[in-house]
Amino acid sequence: MGNYRTKLRMAGCPELQVNSRPSGPKRKLKKAKKNEVNFLPALPEGTTQNALEEERLEILEEMKKKTADVKKVEQMMANTFSLRRKEIVEEEPPVSEVKKKWPALFTEQQIKAEFNRITSSNLTECFYTGLDQHFPRLLHLYRAKMERIPPLKNLLRKLEDDNSITMKRTVALKGLPYLLNEDPSGFLKTAEATEPEEEMTQGVGVGLILVRDGVDPLDIAVVLENQILLHNIGDLPKAMAMLMGLLYVVNIDYPKELRYTFEVIQKVLMNIGGEHCSAKIHGLRNKLLQGNPAGELWGWLRAQTVALASAVEVLDISWFTESMRAGRPVAVESRDRIQTRHGSYQQTQLWPSWNQLRRKMKRKEVESEESGEKEKRGLGGSLPGSLTEPPQMGLMPA
């Protein structure tokens, strides 16, 4: 693998050349840390850096107009993507400098477009889809822990007055740091509308500012490096989605004090790089998936690109836990049946009883001996049957 990477670097692969250092002090390793698909793309074939720079200057002139040509700007931003990533990744300029050179990049439309270029994912779609899928279970976890974590109790009280989908999303996002034992005080700040902008943003490297006029909310602003980049955002979930997009766009790391919170948002809610997560987040994800219908679990497996997802069989283990709690086998209900999917059809089957398993395995042993095969199969072998055989009917094992 090392030799392969050397050959790629010699061939001019930007993602490998950026870290080459024949001599000099050790530098920070520049690599995709948030599962970016196009972290540092090469210049388009037949295009020079000077030509892309001229196109960047055209974007600047277009953005100075009172009414810019949105389609023209969008096309030029797509053309100059490789030049922009080269500057941001290799030079690591301050956000203020990036905004000065690329003002169009800090509009909602271009944040979504740039995020799609980097990750090949739709920013708002993957954010809201994951959030809406998991917030019911998150709220359930909050209620279970609210006596030990007072901030969660205060958040859940807001749902008594406003039970809208937006408020549920907001409470789910605000409660994540407390659930993960992290401190969001430096990330989510409240300011009065009369405060100067410098005082609002002081000490906020990555965060959101809720601007109020007394008790009435006026605005939500997205802040990076003590500078407001977006404002007049309608609600906190949308502001959080825009912040996630900006962190990818300008290649800024997640705040260390909220590393687990942002890991949940990226890998669990947005499902970007979800196959690799820390042990803590893996445990939370398992809790979020408990009690979900089989259909939702299949959708999650397909999103994870699990091999042979169509052949996966899902079993609700509540039958076992309830039987252990009762001290005896409880009645089998429809939810206790194995859920299988073949193509676009959904079937329900019961596990074969242990006696049926033994009889079938014994029959196979006899058939093997009669055909001259010397392979011996004990009762500890794999379950009989294959995906091509019809499902066996029977009782759940006691």
pLDDT tens digits, residue range 100-129? 999 999 999 999 999 999 999 999 999 999
Asked if residue 38 is part of any domain, the answer here is yes
Mean confidence (pLDDT) of the chain: 80
Both 231 and 137 in a single domain? yes
Asked if residue 361 is part of any domain, the answer here is no
Which residues have C-beta within 8 Å of that of residue 82, sequence separation ≥ 6? 41, 42, 43, 44, 52
Both 213 and 180 in a single domain? yes
Quick check: 149 pLDDT over 60? yes
Which residue in the block uniquely carries the two structure tokens 């270029």? 117
> Helix, strand, or coil here: 307?
coil
Tell me what pLDDT residue 113 has.
96
pLDDT tens digits, residue range 203-249? 899 999 999 888 788 889 999 999 999 998 989 999 999 999 999 99
Which residue in the block uniquely carries the two structure tokens 């609210």? 146
Both 183 and 129 in a single domain? yes
Structure tokens at 23: 């001599």
Higher pLDDT, 340 or 106: 106
- Single out the residue in 101, 119, 137 at which a domain terminates: 119
Higher pLDDT, 342 or 285: 285
Which residue in the block uniquely carries the two structure tokens 């977006």? 230
Structural domains in the chain (count): 3
Angular region, 343: left φ>0, alpha ψ -120 to 50, beta rest: left
Both 98 and 141 in a single domain? no
Tell me the pLDDT band of 347, cut-offs 50, 70 and 90. very low
Quick check: 395 pLDDT over 80? no
Quick check: 323 pLDDT over 90? no
Both 202 and 105 in a single domain? no
Asked if residue 137 is part of any domain, the answer here is yes
Both 166 and 42 in a single domain? no
Both 215 and 234 in a single domain? yes
Asked if residue 362 is part of any domain, the answer here is no
Alpha carbon distance 283, 215 (integer Å): 38
Both 82 and 197 in a single domain? no
Tell me what pLDDT residue 193 has.
87
Asked if residue 389 is part of any domain, the answer here is no
Asked if residue 26 is part of any domain, the answer here is no
Average pLDDT over residues 257-265: 96
Asked if residue 369 is part of any domain, the answer here is no
Task: Provide the residue type at 278 as one letter.
Answer: S
Both 200 and 304 in a single domain? no
Alpha carbon distance 7, 1 (integer Å): 10
Quick check: 368 pLDDT over 60? yes
Among 53-57, 97-101, 374-378, the minimum mean pLDDT is found in 374-378
Quick check: 335 pLDDT over 70? no
Residue 110 belongs to what domain range? 32-119
Which residues have C-beta within 8 Å of that of residue 257, sequence separation ≥ 6? 182, 183, 186, 187
Tell me what pLDDT residue 266 has.
95
Both 135 and 276 in a single domain? yes
- Single out the residue in 286, 303, 325 at which a domain terminates: 286
Both 66 and 210 in a single domain? no
Alpha carbon distance 292, 363 (integer Å): 38
pTM above 0.85, yes or no: no
Tell me what pLDDT residue 275 has.
82
CA dihedral 145, 147, 149, 154 (to 10 degrees): 110
Tell me what pLDDT residue 142 has.
95
Both 160 and 254 in a single domain? yes
- Single out the residue in 312, 328, 349 at which a domain terminates: 349
Which residue in the block uniquely carries the two structure tokens 């259909």? 295
Tell me the pLDDT band of 380, cut-offs 50, 70 and 90. very low
Tell me what pLDDT residue 329 has.
79
